[in-house]
Amino acid sequence: MKKTAIILFAFFLGISFLKADSFMKDGLFNEFLIPFQNRELYRAPVDDPLIDSLAAYADRLGERLNGVVLVARHDTILLEKAYGYLELFKNTRGYENVTDNDLEALRDRQGNAMTTNTLFELASVSKQFTAAAILKLCHDGKLKLTDSLEQYIPGTPYGKVTIKQMLSHNSGLPEYFNFDYTVYDTTPFITNEQLIEVLKKNPTQWMFKPSQGYSYTNTNYALLASIVSIVSGMKFEQYVRDYLWKPAGMKNTYYFTELVGLYPDRQQPAISVRKGQEFANIRALDGITSSPISRGHFKGGSLAQYDRLNGVLGDKGVYTTAEDLVRWTNTYFIDCKILPKELIAEATKMQNKTSNGIIPKDLYGYGLHLEDKENGYLVYHGGLWNGYHNLWVYRPKDGVQIIYLSNFYNYSHPGQSRIWLKLIDEMMKR
């Protein structure tokens, strides 16, 4: 990028470090703000030269990124661009009866282009919603973080583990990703309930005694999702939707189970899980919506088939858009409309210090990775699962948000967020 473009880009971010309502209140830069209809978000105009400079930088990333990139500050979206395809069709692996000659035609057909309202599987970025659900129940007096697993899911050999230890990955629980599929039944998708039965019947050795170590383990968040359901008396998906997503205005966010219709009480068209389907009928709990759904792809470009573990929720399983993630960040972290500021502060500070005083290199709060380095204090989470490669970054001091949602696991964006934050900070000092 040319030096002048970088300066313009950083300058625009600098003047944007006022919340959108401040723009409106003071009557400053009103021409920069285009309100979304009924969405409480604002977008800077795409035809502004300052936005052009930001877009030029994003386009450099787009040479490799297959997905969506979004940069926002509070409720103002500075940039949102989509690159590539919902399905890559780079090779025939994952597509039966498709020849190499047909791949290009399939890739370029109408309806296969990536859009900014495409749904992506968030993978582990989903964990923050599970943590928020637990904290919401705690705030409502329905449970305590010191409660044990045994109080809610009796019969497992891990009953002494506390909710807090699971939130911070200090539990020592084994990683269910490493279990052999033969320990489960033969249903197409494994559920949280089946995972619990496996933990009861097939005990695996502890990784360490509770609180004496730290290990990022998906089992923790799968069990936390089950606790949410047990304590609330609701399906996990319904609780998260009613108490988290609806207050945040997230209208394009679903769980995998809602996309493929695993529950018999909702009739779903079989085509919703068919390979090669760019658009699927989504039956959310409160209605029917047709939305573009991306499919994950592995490093070589082959289509990732749905995994049996996709049915386990809490550690993963959320499908959403970049814009809905901005709504979530604004509502939950910045405006504290779901939980009080004090609980958000607890969620976004280091919680995984071990009982012997060791602070792991990987700082973790409640469903959130943390970092305090040259770019300031960052709250973030990545996600890798089934061909998806995502990153959500939030900087509390100025409300900057950087989101990458990619359905191609090709390492296109690692390190890029630090570059953008460094540019912002350097230009703001001048």
**pLDDT recorded at residue 237:** 95
pLDDT at 85 over 50: yes
**pLDDT recorded at residue 298:** 93
Average pLDDT, integer, range 320-339: 97
pLDDT at 18 over 60: no
Residue 56 binned pLDDT confidence (cut-offs 50, 70, 90): confident
The model's pTM: 0.87
**pLDDT recorded at residue 411:** 84
CA–CA dist 376, 180 (Å, integer)? 42
Residue 24 binned pLDDT confidence (cut-offs 50, 70, 90): very low
Q: How do 369-373 and 363-364 pair as beta strands?
A: antiparallel
Is 105 or 351 the better-scoring residue by pLDDT? 351
Average pLDDT, integer, range 256-260: 81
The sign one gets for the Cα dihedral 30, 31, 32, 33 is: positive
Average pLDDT, integer, range 291-305: 89
Q: In DSSP terms, which residues pair with 82 in a beta bridge?
A: 68
CA–CA dist 16, 32 (Å, integer)? 9
Average pLDDT, integer, range 33-62: 67
CA–CA dist 220, 127 (Å, integer)? 10
**pLDDT recorded at residue 51:** 65
117-164 residue pLDDT tens:
999 999 999 999 999 999 999 999 999 999 999 999 999 999 999 999
**pLDDT recorded at residue 272:** 37
Average pLDDT, integer, range 263-271: 41
**pLDDT recorded at residue 322:** 97
Helix-helix angle 127-139:218-232, to 10 degrees: 40
Among 45, 69, 72, 16, which residue's Cα sits nearest to residue 327? 72
